[in-house]
Amino acid sequence: MNTKLILNQVGIAACMTITGFLTVGLEAATSGKHTDSALAFNQFKAANTKAVILQNEAGGIRALYSPGMSHGGTASDSARNYVAEWGDMHGITPDQIQPIETIEEVPLQYDRVTGTYGLTLFNYEQTVSGIPVHDTRLMTLVKNEPGYPVIHIKADLKPLKGWTPGPIANDAVSSVSALQAGSRFLGEKVTLSEEPTLVVFAGGEQVTEDPVLCMSFEITAGSKADDTYKKWLLLTSVETGEVIYQQNLILNCGMNCASVAQALGNMSVGDVSGQTTSLATDGSGADICESESFYGMPHIFVSGSNGQNVIADANGNWEMPSNGNVTVSSSFAGQYFVVNNEAGSEANFSTSVSDGGTAELQNTDTSEYVLAEANAYLHLNLIRDFVLSYNPSYPVISTQTQMPANVNLGSSCNAYYDGGSTNYYIESGGCSNTSFSVIIHHEYGHHLVNTAGSGQNEYGEGMGDVMSVLMSGDAQLARGFFTNDCANGIRNADNNCQYQASGCSSCGSAIHSCGQLISGVVWDLLELMPDDFDTAARIVIDSLPLHDGTSIDGAILLDYLILDDDDGDLSNGTPNSDKIYNAFGQHGINEDNIPVPPDNDDCSTARAVTWGSWEVNTTGAGSSGVPVDANQCADTYMTACDPDVWYRLVACGSGSMTVSLCGSATFDTDLAVYTGDCSGLSQIACNGDAADCANYTSSLSVDVTQGQAIYVRVGGYNGASGTGTVIIDGPGEPCDDEVIVFDFPDGLPDVIDPNDPPAISISLEGSGDLSPVPGSGRMYVAQGDTVAEGTMEQSGPSGNSYLASFPTLDCQPVLYWFEVDGSNGTTYGSGDKSAEVYSGFEVIFEDNGDADGGWVVSGNATDGQWDRGAPINCGRCDPPTDRDGTGGCWLTDNSSASNCNSDVDGGSTVLTTPVMDASDPNAVVNYSRWYSNGSDCSGASP
């Protein structure tokens, strides 16, 4: 028997006073089951009542915020624990993700005073059969405090529905095949930037498509010198060779590596001082618009005629051993960047220094090509040092050396980043040389986006502009880009671009136009925080590793709030939340972007329909919790049909009724049909994926009887949601279903304080010729065997809007419902509603496993009995830590002996609590557990 179960922190919670006793026994089970995604999502929402949830258009989880979603003994343990505890909610298990190597662990929220970080971000990618799924990501943000709570999750994962690639041929990945496919794609000879690899393509950003096993590779062609250079990422089907996905890796500024002689290993630090400076362009405009001044060249290489080579500091200062006169020289190459002049040889400048003297090693050449070299070298170093001053551990760039910058390319009016270098054009075609400050900052901004793991497109263009704003303080990007205009740039961060759910922004949907959304937000934020530039800059820079995909929307607002927060709880605001909300709100990005539940989110609020086509929108919907009998539609991938919306109709005739979402929904749908009423539904049909229906949509047919009340429920596969159209057709002509709909615009309470019960808003609406009788609304409340009547106060001129108030309530569950008279003389009801009633919890027993709390171990297992201690964490499905990170808990056979053989064998093991006073009928037991049955263990069963 292979079983692993962890138990700690048990509490009894009850209303007011408790008398009597309760004994609880927990027995290790012999089998486990993977939790359905929708069920896991509902469990998560119940356990994280402060959660902020953002979903994509298909209903998948895009972002979550909640204080303490999981804990651990270290930050990395906590991140792994989140996947173990809540991976089912995302449709993954721990063995289906792997760390993203370059950004596996990213510290954020750097404190310059203490030199510590407040947060740590962990990044994973989805895999299937060990093969990465292209462009997937799970981001887990941990707060660096005792217990290491996970506070923020972002995800773009694909529901693969058990798909596997099957047998893979030995020649599935071939450089020859990649070169041939690349040449066909570009129509010219290509080279490979790196060896091809296997990936699975299952859709782009926040979109799911049928998975395809692919070969992934990068190709280049042409020359940078004559502006024919191309660089593409291609994914080709292993089976057919077809190009499944393509991405242009050339990212330009929006209009229209040479070797280094000095090797880092030969550098030394000497004791004769000097400084390397160069004339470079002042200000934020092009060279033709600005003057020049001398600037220290940061981290530059300096060579001596005596064979010594040294590296300057951030201001260009250096020291070199000398036993006599020496000639020192530099070119625009240093520890972190190397500038290549594509129009000729690289500039080199030198001077002679007498023994013991001080050198002023200066470049005074301001010709176009040399000035372009100086500008590129200076500003690339400045922006790198700027970013690291706010996050010294920024991914890749904190350790990257000798990144190439190519200047004076033989074309005009552009600059670009290609994933490995930045590139700038000569003055030509009415445009200035593009190697000047803000364009350099913009292109390096693309590098920051890339190394942080995010996508580019509108977000990359926008953040490139943002880095220019942070560095220059100028809202105009690239004044003097056109040689006849030194007053204006090509974009402006001081803008009024407005967020649009479709079309991206009011300034346009093209990536450079849309990017102005985020540059506008940051410009406004800087104006709102004039005395706290450092905080604003830190938030902006740390938001880069926290972003995923390419979109600019409300998810970034959530990121900024989290990065500004100082106590792990967004519900009480953050130090600058008013300014952050203001800046985003000026561009139409605010809390309104978070979906709200639709009006037909529950059976009791089902929308009255008849034969015809009806709008579907499950975005923001919750789970009604109505059980699904998937046996009625076996083999159609039917899940819990959540989140869901409901429709009610009366059959207009007897015969076959068809309900179809076939090809008419944006998400993977589930569909169920019921008869009866909301207090006693009977399922008569269901469907997950219908044959020949695109995008995993649903369709079904079922026999109905004239006059029969029918409920149609539309939900999503494993928590998916979105929009679409449901078509309902059946026997007879469309007929009106005379019903009165009870609407609760402010929602219904789950918990009621008996000392201060809430008032419930109710709106009544009839269908067809039927209408509610004004003032006839009634409220009934049942507790135990007692039924009382609440009060219904009319709140609107129609007489069909009410505020309902509860009578005096006892501390026990309450059942309540509403009735109203119809104009046809019939009484109509809302269906039963329920809530818990209590004013607070009294915890009468709590045990976190750190000390002997009087638990009793029994059972007949020959090995693996319950044992209390700190988890050993052997990596064989045993827990890495206890639940609250304090050390102790109860485990089965907590031992590293016999290769960590800690499972339960030869019987059962029982752990029984001490006797607890819990005679009150409302007593609640809460506990945390870790359970694994060994099916997904890494290396061996436990």
Give the torsion sign (CA, 627, 629, 630, 633): negative
Phi, psi of 493 (to 5 degrees): -75, -20
Q: 754-837, which class in CATH?
A: mainly beta
Q: What is the DSSP letter of 854?
A: -
Angle between helices 75-90 and 37-47 (to 10 degrees): 130
- Fold matches, 264-364 and 754-837: yes
> What 8-state DSSP symbol labels residue 333?
B
Report the pLDDT value the prediction gives residue 610, as an integer from 0 to 100. 86
- Look at residues 97, 99, 75, 101 and name the one whose alpha carbon lies nearest to residue 84: 97
What number of CA atoms fall less than 13 Å from residue 662's CA on the CB side?
Answer: 11
Cα-flanking dihedrals φ and ψ of residue 598, to 5°? -70, 165
Q: Is 370 helix (H, G, I), strand (E, B) or coil?
A: helix
pTM of the model: 0.62
Closest CA to 702 of 687, 688, 689, 716: 687
Distance, in Å, from the CA atom of 507 to the CA atom of 504, rounded to the nearest integer, reads: 8
Closest CA to 328 of 357, 313, 306, 347: 306
Cα–Cα distance, 745 to 790 (Å, whole number): 19
Sequence-distant (≥ 6) Cβ neighbours of residue 23 within 8 angstroms = 912, 913, 915, 916
CB–CB of 931/938 below 8 Å?
A: no
- Among the four given CATH numbers 3.30.1490, 3.40.50, 2.60.120, 2.60.40, the one describing domain 264-364: 2.60.40
Burial of 292 (0-12, 13-18, 19+ CB in 10 A): middle
For residue 33, the Cα-to-chain-centroid distance in whole angstroms is 27
User: Is the alpha carbon torsion for 618, 620, 625, 630 positive or negative?
Assistant: positive
Q: What is the pLDDT of residue 203?
A: 86
3-state secondary structure of 243: strand
SS3 392: coil
Give me the average pLDDT of each 10-residue run along the chain (942 residues): 27 27 28 54 78 73 89 94 91 90 94 95 95 95 95 91 86 90 90 94 83 95 84 93 88 49 40 89 96 97 93 95 90 97 95 90 97 98 97 95 96 93 96 97 97 91 96 95 94 94 81 93 97 96 93 90 90 92 93 63 85 85 79 90 88 92 92 88 95 93 88 86 90 73 81 91 78 91 88 84 92 89 83 80 80 85 85 76 81 73 80 82 76 56 42
What are the backbone angles phi and psi of residue 777, rounded to the nearest 5°? -65, 140
**How far is C-alpha 926 from the geometric centre of its chain's CA atoms?**
30
Cβ within 8 Å of residue 114, ≥6 positions away? none
- Pick from 126, 115, 56, 121: which is nearest to 91 by CA? 126
pLDDT at 941: 41
Q: Domain 175-249 is of which CATH architecture? A: Roll (3.10)
Beta carbons within 8 Å of 41's beta carbon, 6+ residues apart: 61, 89, 623, 642, 719
The CATH number of the domain covering residues in 603-742 = 2.60.120.380
Which value, to the nearest 10 degrees, does the dihedral of the CA atoms of residues 643, 883, 28, 96 take? 60
Is residue 284 a contact partner of residue 479, using CB atoms and an 8 Å limit? Answer: yes
The CB density around residue 54, as the number of other CB atoms within 10 Å, is 18
List all residues 6 or more positions away from 42 whose beta carbon is below 8 Å from its beta carbon: 623, 625, 642
Residue 749 burial by CB count (10 A; 0-12/13-18/19+): exposed, middle or buried? Answer: middle
DSSP state of 727: E
Q: What is the pLDDT of residue 118?
A: 96
Indicate the domain borders of the chain. Answer: 4-33+842-932, 48-156, 175-249, 264-364, 493-594, 603-742, 754-837
Under 8 Å between Cβ of 391 and 108: yes
pLDDT at 737: 57
For residue 526, give Cα distances in angstroms to 497, 520, 587.
17, 10, 15
Report the alpha-carbon distance of residue 612 to residue 604 in Å, rounded: 21
Asked if 412 contacts 431 with a C-beta cutoff of 8 angstroms, the reply is: yes
